Structure 1
Amino acid sequence: MGEEVQERDIYSLIENYSLATNVGCKAFDSEGNMITEISIGNESSFCKLICDCEEGKKDCKQSYINGGLQAEKLGEAYIYSCPYGLVNWAVPILENNKLKYFLTGGPVLIYQVNDLLLKKIVKQNSLLEAKIDEIEVNLSSLNKIDTVRVRHLAEMLMRLAKGLMADNIDELRKRRELNEINARIAETVHSLKQDNEGNEVLYPFEKENELISKVKLGDKEGAREILNEILGFIYFQTGSKFEMVKSKAIELMVILARASIEIGADLEVIFGLEYIYLEEINQVENINQLSGSLAKVLDRFIEATFVLKNVKNKDIIRRAMKYIRKNYDRNIKLDQVASEVGLSASYFSKLFKEELNISYIDYLNRVRIEEGKKLLEKEYPLADIAQMSGFNDQSYFSKVFKKLEGVSPGRWRCEGNKGRIKAEER
């Protein structure tokens, strides 16, 4: 169990923040009860006018609570407008991975006081109409800050809050990552709804092939992007029926395991991971947790496929792999990639082979063949595919392809077309 967050540290934090930024700051417990505040300028006078009536007090408290809970969910700063048109930002303070306190910055104005804002205030609470002149005076003296500075102020408060919860930083990172995953899935679902309203949408088997390709190349970012697209389709097609989504998620895990084994990952390691994550997926209770579990499965399978023996070389090797994946269609040489990561060609070649158990040229060829397989799904001539994949010679392309895939490019294309026809007939 980590150290408890001390309220005296919170008092010190918000005092330093307010004095340094000239922006008000408040601290609340997890129930939304304010434990301390520092106000700047006339913000307290404005808020007091709003809170003089029960309805205004209730609006303000609920707004703060909603901001704090959203910040907790996201694992980062959350910028929002209060019911009366002012801008605030909230950051969470976790203890034992649960919300203990939350801090807010603001309120501030991001535009000039005008009739539209005053009308919004009265519309929110008609009892304030009698005080509108006084409200306008108080509003006019509030901090006016542009949106860029608001974002930086929110990030600064989040950085300070992290200093109070060092033992919970990993939990915050997980929440941010899960939020990003779910946001991308939601984008896919929205896009499918717009583009296919009333029409049947076939399962994107080609996306599974792309996912396998990314796993085989150790492209974690690319694989995650495609996994999110597949999950978005599954949610769209099943109407987010949880058991159906879970069933398809288990199928995807098996596909990922097979791809890792095909490329040379340790069989026992992958089977062990598969068992562990099968248990985890069976125990998840909602779609958000399921998305996070699958992303974790994907990362671990890629790591098991490309085991880096020395942690200090991890960044160098990952950068080199990324550079190769980005420039595979050019005539890139070993010394170019070595220069990109700041090493001599001979040392880089030795390091790459030692860390990944595959030579630079073999990895480059693997990248090119995976890209060539995508092109084979289209009607390009083999000579053009060879060129677009980075091979200067069609015969060499065919030779490498057969070595890696066990069949010629022409045979692979033919068998792939048969498979797609069968899939479409299902």
Structure 2
Amino acid sequence: MRRTAVSAAVLAVLLTAAACGDDSGSDGEEPIRVGQIVSLTGNYAPLGTENEKSVKLAVEQVNAAGGVLGRRVELFVRDDKSQPDQSVLAFNDLKGRDLAAVIGSPFSNSALATIPLVDRERIPYLSLTPADEQVDPVHPYVFVVPATSATYADRILAYLRSQNIGRVAVAYDGKSSYARAGFTSSRAKAAEHGITLTATPEFQTTTTEFSAVFNQVRSSGAQALVVWATGAPGVALAKQYPTAGLRLPVVFTGAQASKLWLDPVGAAAEGAIVASSIGVVGGSLPDGAQKRAVQELAEPFQRTYGYPPPQFAQDGYTGVKLLVAAIEKAGSAEPEKIRTALEGLTATTPNGTYAYSATDHAGLKADYISINTVRGGALVPTEWASQQLATVVGK
């Protein structure tokens, strides 16, 4: 393979994650080249920067341990600027670099815009966004890392039913692919859990005042409110909720399982319910393989950045772990062999144990989602979640 020269006009800085300056792999082997498309600027930069931190950390750990198949991993990072067209440009820039795989954007709209190119170029794409359209129907080279919106919806509804809640309002951002998918899945799965949706107010990514949403919920007779949003709307709605006078449980999704939400919402978050991957509350897990997988990320991340890894960091780190496991299983860094290995891969990561297959490119079941409450500014598993997680963490 030939190294391609890097001009000053590339979309973002090229990062080489090797611990030393030597680009060659162990025993003279060339490095395994991996691309990352990530939102480092724009509205989704708070998510993307956490992805980038954890992906870099995972690559550094892999290289410090001798690499993969005796070869170092070299990381090429491109900024999609929180814009779908920029994700497309980034993929086009990366595809000629003899990549083994690409780790994709945390922004659903960017990932969805890029998938047609992934299909055409046949490069494995591990997506860090949970939009269901990426895997339903299956795209041969696309594998989703976070639990999908449908999986989150299923877990949240199961929790609400366990609390004897049967009437639920769902508010969602109509401009977000992630939020729309969450709403659609909630509507489709509600009856399975014996739940009726009493109101479904839609808002926009630019919405800053939510009294109209609260009024619809109030008049609907709902017993709880589920909110599907990412970024600023999730913060604004949560800050306004305590003074809305609803006195109903409010439930947020994995997009809010982060200090990026907890810190700006502050005291208004107390008592809110927030779903998350198992890794976000890893400190509450019993000892075992799952907790050890969480600690591999949590301890060095905490030392480096001074706070626990949020959901978006869990996803980035897990993406690298899944890719490395697939390369090892394949015994090769050839894209087609990686894709085949991913389709038969079972691996325990900070997010839980994945079991991809030819018909399931999501791989992560609802069992590995924790339903938490905010207590003292931190996410703590509910009693229900602790009981549920105990059935899987020992496997």
TM-score range, shorter-chain basis?
under 0.3
Q: Which has the higher contact order (CA 8 A, sep 6+)?
A: 2
TM-score in terms of structure 2 length: 0.28
TM-score in terms of structure 1 length: 0.26
Question: Whose radius of gyration is greater, 1 or 2?
Answer: 1
* Structure richer in helix, relative to its length: 1
* Structure richer in strand, relative to its length: 2
